[in-house]
Amino acid sequence: MAKFSANSKYAMIVGSIVLLLVIVYFFGSRSEGFQSGDATFTLYYADWCPHCKTVKPVFADWSKSGSFTVNGKSVTTNMVEESSMKDKSVPVKGYPTFLLKKADGSYVEFDGDRSPSGWEQWLAKNV
């Protein structure tokens, strides 16, 4: 059996602990994110749209924290302007459009009252 100095024993112990912490952190956060069902609720708007001009400041104020917990699941909020839309697969039919992108990648179009209480009630049913 090889002899190790005291320093190399400590280095092996510290290295093992660091490796264990990295594994727990990486896999723990992955499984937690999966279990929590992270979703994103996004307002798609156009600056030329009169309805967007009305709802945009209300949504911006309501969503300023950037995320909510709904039914124990994390919901991130987002706002995307028409000219900055890069993903053409997003099912935006007109403006404004509110879409919930679920953890599985599917989209659900918002069909409730365009107000903070309307968004919260709808999210509680759809997250």
pLDDT digits (tens, 9 = 90+) for 94-111: 999 999 999 899 999 999
- The pTM score is 0.69
pLDDT digits (tens, 9 = 90+) for 29-45: 333 333 345 899 999 99
Sheet with 107-109: strands ordered across: 67-70, 73-81, 39-45, 97-101, 107-109
| Percentage of residues of the chain with pLDDT beyond 90 | 59
CB 81 within 8 A of CB 90: no
Instruction: Give the model's pLDDT for residue 58.
Output: 98
Give the residues of the chain that fall short of pLDDT 50. Answer: 18-36
**Cα–Cα distance, 24 to 36 (Å, whole number):** 17
CB 47 within 8 A of CB 82: yes
Name the CATH topology of 37-126: Glutaredoxin (3.40.30)
Instruction: Give the model's pLDDT for residue 10.
Output: 63
Instruction: Give the model's pLDDT for residue 97.
Output: 97
Structure letter (DSSP) for residue 57? H
**Cα–Cα distance, 118 to 62 (Å, whole number):** 11
| DSSP calls for 64-93 | TTSEEEETTEEEEEEEEEGGG---TTS---
CA dist list (Å): 63 to 40, 79, 86, 110, 111? 11, 9, 22, 15, 18
Structural domain boundaries of the chain? 1-36, 37-126
